[in-house]
Amino acid sequence: MTDTDLLFTPAVKAAALIRAKKLSPVEYVDAVLTAADKANARLNCFRVLMHEEARRDARAAEEAVTKGKPLGPLHGVPISIKDLVDVKGVPTRHGSAIYADNPPAAADDILVQRLRAAGAIIFAKASTPEFGVKGLTDGPSFGVTRNPWNLERTPGGSSGGGAAAVAAGVGPLSLATDGAGSTRGPASCSGLVGLKATLGAVPYDTTRDAFGNNIYAGPLSRTITDAAVMHDVLKGPTEKDPWTLSGGVQHPLSPKLAGQDLSGVRIGYIELTANPRVAADVRSNTRAALAAWEAMGAGVEEVTETIDWIEYEGRVLYQANFAVFCAQYLPKWQNQMDPVTLAFMERGAKFTLADFRNAQFARTALFRKIQSLFERYDFLVTPTNSRTALDVTHDAANDEVLVDGVKCGITRQGWTSYQYPFNLTGHPALALPSGFGADGLPTSVQIVGRWGHETDVLRLGALLEAARPWAQHRPPSA
């Protein structure tokens, strides 16, 4: 196959070819690194490219194949890691000038350890905005990361570097994180699959608030199967994440999803959350996805009851967190920090303790409301974003999002409002492509499932992927 075809080969297929000795890990990694050098000049998607380390690991992977050693499910597969997650021997810069001169990490994060144990080859650290603060990927310390579908648009954030890379065929997988939609938003913008697992399914050992956590790590991929395999590698308990110790139960596939007859499946469709509008092309493509499931026998109905999506309370939790966490940096670094970080800090500092506690109470109320919906439905389905990718010049702190020409509030209100609620409730949520918008950019649909039912969510996504294939599409700049 050509190098281009190789670059767009799914991870599970590449791993199978490697196991069958039909693909050399060394040649595979060389092709990815060559593509990464070219893509980074155009997309600015990587902070670090690990040429020597990746080639060393590729040689070891090839030797393991030759000697007949046991091989993991991702053996020889190149994967990039978001630059909020430690990779041994490489600086973790957190998208910030504050950590521009950070020393190399002393050890791999637990998730990187699990990926390596599965045979993956870590080849890059992917760009992220400062501390993953926003839904676009840019910053004073590294510039602008661009979307391969249109270089004037964002790949989303905060896992935008990994999303741009995978969409451009530079590695079939990237490890993303999601604190308010930061995996699903980039998946939506970039034509990818992005999974936010159930709270406790995948450890997040480095979160500052382990007990109040709403941050998740997971895969960005071009196919459902690749996402499922990577999730399987990442999941499982650790001693540092209390949610994983007892809360990470993964249920087996529900029998009614085993085949292609979905007659017993009930889907609740939510067209709007805290956002006032959804773009006509996004609505049309979402309804086409629903129609595909209906054609398989699923029952679909619109959820019409009033739901308090706690937009204000979610803002309190989010911005107050940055106000407290980043206060330590202001005396020395204020003039070099992202203006969006500073704006969120300023707003967050104005909230009171009562505001914060009431927001925590509201989080519980939202969880219970979503749980009540799952008494009637097997899945909830929404758009992932209200419109296609924003312009790279969009100011996430102040600019209102235009949806079909109408101002709809800043990003969390008018664009990404479907995502953050499920960070707060902990339910698994999967973003996958639903088609193209009128501007030629990808649109996306989000599937939300019951706690611990990632397998069901992935299965419903796989059935849509089979009915409405997407992975054959490639960005014009790839």
Active-site annotation, residues: 82, 158, 182
User: Are the beta carbons of 228 and 458 closer than 8 angstroms?
Assistant: yes
Neighbours of 20 (CB within 10 A): 9
Check residue 98 and report its DSSP letter: G
In whole angstroms, give the CA distance from residue 450 to residue 444. Answer: 20
Separation in Å, CA 435 to CA 118, 371, 442, 473: 32, 30, 6, 10
Q: Which residue has the tokens 């050098």?
A: 37
Half-sphere exposure of 311 (CA within 13 A, CB side): 16
What lies within 8 Å, CB to CB, of 446 at 6+ separation is 184, 381, 382, 383, 384, 418, 419, 429, 430, 431
User: Are the beta carbons of 347 and 324 closer than 8 angstroms?
Assistant: no
User: Are the beta carbons of 422 and 451 closer than 8 angstroms?
Assistant: no
Quick one: CA dihedral 143, 328, 364, 350, positive or negative?
negative
